[in-house]
Structure 1
């Protein structure tokens, strides 16, 4: 999967400009709604018909009032009987008109709700497909709070826009227009009274909505920042308490929340006053005072009759409520636009590419099934994309890892160690060059085949909310309990598991919480059970106490036997007994050789590393 898309479907880009962000949000929303545009259009049509039919009850009420008024002044029995018959007929048609209006509205909402369910399914499938093909480094670059908000919250935000807005906004636009026209048909004086307060209401609402798009986009960006910082703080609370840095550790979340609160009040404070004034202008007492009071004067002047005044007064109440619905739907539209932008950005994540097996590689090798455990990096270069442009992380790396050997990667922070090592497991692919396993480009391997060849143990052990058995057997779900136990014993974690009431059935995160060292050893047990011939280790003991480090080193000694091992190290003590050492600096190989050969070299970083080890 190359991850390439047509320009028509390419994701919108923004650079922090909230007006541009609002524009991008609208484009993303249009793109996202494309698969359900047909049902949405049909929902609008039925909503429009429902709005047109809504005038019928008011016409019938007017006629009914006139009939009753004329009937009350008649004294003849035959005339009264005729009036009663006409009243029954008008009431019947009134019920029919209401029923037709409600039926059309109901069917329209059913259609748009079905469209909403269809869109949810499409979005979920797109997100799953995109995330499943995203490089693992994509998850490292984003907090779980950001990913969770996009997958859960943003998908739900679209519900109102798809299931309700097409019908409700259509009704809200057509119904007041039709009713206002009918009020003018009854009498133009009454028509003017029915819309007398609309200019005030619309003017105040327009003033408040003037910068709604950019402000909503900014609000969503700030909310996402608050969500991300909150998740980071909660996930790290154990470490925070252990090291007594609560005030410092939660400052990122506190600052994000404070900034959001300040922004929200500065934005919404003036809107509260404007909203109160606009709603007061179209409140029931004000509208009734104007329409009933003004209508009474017109009745006294003989211009109109009482039923006409009452009907136009009801119309004056309906028109502002429809406009309020439009305002609410406009807010939902802004919210949905921001959500759509996040969803589209996730669905257009960089995808792991697949090499073409019919094309010879740059080195002249033809892709073929994995034939050995040898790992080769051939002219590998890689750059990170930042706001200021690409930043080179690796440049023309050429190394070979022989089967059954342990190779250590050392170098200062930011030298590219983790980037280089994790390319074997396709955390990211090189911009140029190749990573080969047994002569086969890793991009030509199916995911399941790749992870039968490569396993890894990183500083931050990644466990899922499932039983300990399922966590250890994640790569081999068919493994027996005996095999799981054997791996757990080799990882020096079995005794801890036996102490738990439910043993292997203990659910991590629900039945128990594990220490960092226990989580790391379960991760090692998983790698032992997987028994992949190639292993990547990223300073697996770095975040644990000395006692736990000894147990983890014992577990690792079982794990690395007869494997092709690449170790990311930050101290000379962590790589004692390795076969080869690679010193990285600025994305390049500064020195390479056995530890003894590097001792005899003049490499500055290796000298400082060995000096620190000797002093320790």
Structure 2
């Protein structure tokens, strides 16, 4: 905000492997903290998954027993023991059904846990952001909020809804089945796991440094996303000023950096990964288990039913290993998402006064008393030891060049943030102690900030209990009633959906909203700056009605834009340079 030029800040050093490793650990800790509210439900899901996995062994036991009974009866020419076969069939069907019931119960618990956690996080965010300084909501931070509420909560979904069940089952079920394979015959057991060491050896190469690389990938993807949003959001402006190439270059550079990183990481691993996957190929597993098993059958050492059961067990290995690999990858990604979510949930907030300290101002006088404010991350104060008074019922204009600090002064009155030092008070009460501040301070900004609801609801946003007649009266005073009634659905027209409004019409709807709130203190920040000349007269008439009898602070670049005000305060570099009182 100062007039001198500072040396540019040095570029931050690129994160090292150790930085990535530390961020990975932080992500794991953040994930543990984030999942704490549903940890009991996730444990219940895992326990049911263990039950399901153990029950998966019994159909194989029944299969071996039934096979042995059939082969024995066929070899000796005897009648099959139907009672024994039926008994084992009952065990097979019962345990298989029990396994499915336990599995789906586990999935139901974890999915409800996912819903509950998503609701819990969103509720915490709403409560947190209701206390965050309004100045925090820049386009960058608003993008972080959208990403957290949509993308990051979605990223954590698999880890909550599926991984506790599928991940546990992928570990317990193969282990239980392999134990049974060794119980059937230790040689068949060895055949069922013969390809696993080959696969694990190959995959250990691909997994080396995966955690650190995943952190770096997530960081680079975040940069690509931010650059893309920045480019798309400002495309109309950069095209108007012929700077498309420069605006596009930042996005292109971040995309190229991600491509180069990802290719350097994955290209050497493709062949190794393909080799590892080939060891889990079904034809190879069948060759090893059926080929080796038939040799043992011909040697009279095992039965054909035994070979069939252990071969089926071996065929489950690829699915289980791939599920575990997927769960490891998902946990890495979810850790980064959890870290971002906790960062949002720990956003600094404005400290509200205690209930007993809240007061109602006795008048509409506004006093800035030695107020200093510096934006986070900035070295120079945006507002530097500012003191002045806005008399009740008078119109005061803050005039200065862009970046002089006048809008920041106005936002401190509306408590978009608290000053670093000094106080802002209304009627002798600091704004942080005022009960229901926004019923006492209204504002009309350059951007009217209408939302995608009906025109009636937009006007009644500050007073949702207002009657239709009160809404119409506010629209009439704002010189916008006729335009609203001319819309297809009148006051029921949805802003931005059913029809478009000109900038002047939208601004007058915002003025109608401020009129309805009827706040005694009013801030007008360049309310006509972005409208066409035809609309400015109507807006000025509406503003005159709005300002009547109120304490008004007007923000303007040029002194001629505030002719007729009671006082003009000139601002430069965050300081008051001159005050002019009109007779």
Q: Same fold (TM over 0.5)?
A: yes
Partner of 1:343: 341
Q: Does 1:51 align with 2:37?
A: no
CA distance 1:207–1:410, shift in 2 (3 Å):
farther
Partner of 2:313: 315
Partner of 1:385: 376
The alignment's TM-score, normalised by the length of structure 1, stands at 0.84
Partner of 2:383: 394
The alignment's TM-score, normalised by the length of structure 2, stands at 0.88
CA distance 1:186–1:29, shift in 2 (3 Å):
same
Distance 1:542 1:271 in 2: 57
Partner of 2:8: none
Map residues 388-467 of structure 1 onto 2, 5 A cutoff. 392-446=381-435, 449-467=436-454
1:422 Cα deviation from its structure 2 partner: 0.5
Q: Does 1:539 align with 2:526?
A: yes
Moved more, 40-49 or 462-471: 40-49
Partner of 1:129: 127
Q: CA RMSD in A?
A: 2.9
Residue 286 of structure 1, aligned match among 270, 277, 284: 284
Q: Deviation per CA, 1:255-314, whole angstroms, max 9, x where unpaired?
A: 555555555555455555444333222021111112112222333333333222222211
CA distance 1:382–1:273, shift in 2 (3 Å):
farther
Distance 1:572 1:312 in 2: 90
Distance 1:51 1:488 in 2: 67
CA contact (8 A) 1:410 1:583 kept: yes
Moved more, 482-491 or 245-254: 245-254
1:400 Cα deviation from its structure 2 partner: 1.8
1:44 Cα deviation from its structure 2 partner: 1.3
1:39 Cα deviation from its structure 2 partner: 1.3
1:34 Cα deviation from its structure 2 partner: 0.8
Partner of 2:302: 304
CA contact (8 A) 1:145 1:227 kept: no
Structure 1: where are the runs of 5+ without partners?
1-13, 360-366, 598-616
Partner of 2:11: none
Residue 474 of structure 2, aligned match among 470, 487, 491: 487
Q: Secondary structure at the match of 1:423?
A: helix
Q: Secondary structure at the match of 1:292?
A: helix
Map residues 521-600 of structure 1 onto 2, 5 A cutoff. 521-589=508-576, 591-594=577-580
Partner of 1:22: 24
CA distance 1:289–1:331, shift in 2 (3 Å):
same
Distance 2:141 2:369 in 1: 32
1:209 Cα deviation from its structure 2 partner: 3.2
Partner of 1:63: 65
Partner of 1:164: 162
Q: Secondary structure at the match of 1:581?
A: strand
1:413 Cα deviation from its structure 2 partner: 4.0
Distance 2:197 2:503 in 1: 65
Moved more, 229-238 or 287-296: 229-238
1:119 Cα deviation from its structure 2 partner: 1.4
Distance 1:87 1:334 in 2: 48
Distance 2:306 2:287 in 1: 16
Distance 1:384 1:267 in 2: 39
Distance 1:530 1:400 in 2: 23
Partner of 1:332: 330
1:462 Cα deviation from its structure 2 partner: 0.7
1:115 Cα deviation from its structure 2 partner: 1.8
Partner of 1:75: 77
Partner of 1:4: none
Map residues 136-155 of structure 1 onto 2, 5 A cutoff. 136-140=134-138, 142=140, 144-155=142-153
CA distance 1:508–1:240, shift in 2 (3 Å):
farther
1:28 Cα deviation from its structure 2 partner: 1.8
Residue 371 of structure 1, aligned match among 342, 362, 368: 362
CA distance 1:384–1:239, shift in 2 (3 Å):
closer
Map residues 139-288 of structure 1 onto 2, 5 A cutoff. 139-140=137-138, 142=140, 144-228=142-226, 259-261=257-259, 263-270=261-268, 272-288=270-286
Q: Secondary structure at the match of 1:532?
A: coil
Moved more, 410-419 or 420-429: 410-419
Q: Deviation per CA, 1:139-182, whole angstroms, max 9, x where unpaired?
A: 12535433222112322332221122112111111111222222
Q: Deviation per CA, 1:178-218, whole angstroms, max 9, x where unpaired?
A: 22222233333322222222123223333333343344444
Distance 1:495 1:258 in 2: 54
Distance 2:86 2:381 in 1: 84
CA contact (8 A) 1:144 1:231 kept: no
1:127 Cα deviation from its structure 2 partner: 1.3
CA distance 1:277–1:413, shift in 2 (3 Å):
farther
Q: Aligned pair count?
A: 568
Q: Deviation per CA, 1:319-356, whole angstroms, max 9, x where unpaired?
A: 22111111222222223222222322222222121134
CA contact (8 A) 1:455 1:535 kept: yes
Q: Deviation per CA, 1:204-246, whole angstroms, max 9, x where unpaired?
A: 3333333433444444444445555555566566667777766
Partner of 2:457: 470
Distance 1:253 1:481 in 2: 48
CA contact (8 A) 1:145 1:229 kept: no
Distance 2:36 2:440 in 1: 41
CA contact (8 A) 2:479 2:542 kept: yes
Distance 2:219 2:511 in 1: 38
Q: Deviation per CA, 1:9-33, whole angstroms, max 9, x where unpaired?
A: xxxxx99944333332222211111
Distance 1:151 1:248 in 2: 31
Distance 2:171 2:425 in 1: 62
CA distance 1:182–1:581, shift in 2 (3 Å):
same
CA distance 1:259–1:554, shift in 2 (3 Å):
farther
CA distance 1:246–1:31, shift in 2 (3 Å):
same
CA contact (8 A) 1:580 1:592 kept: no
CA contact (8 A) 1:146 1:228 kept: no
Partner of 1:363: none
CA contact (8 A) 1:145 1:232 kept: no
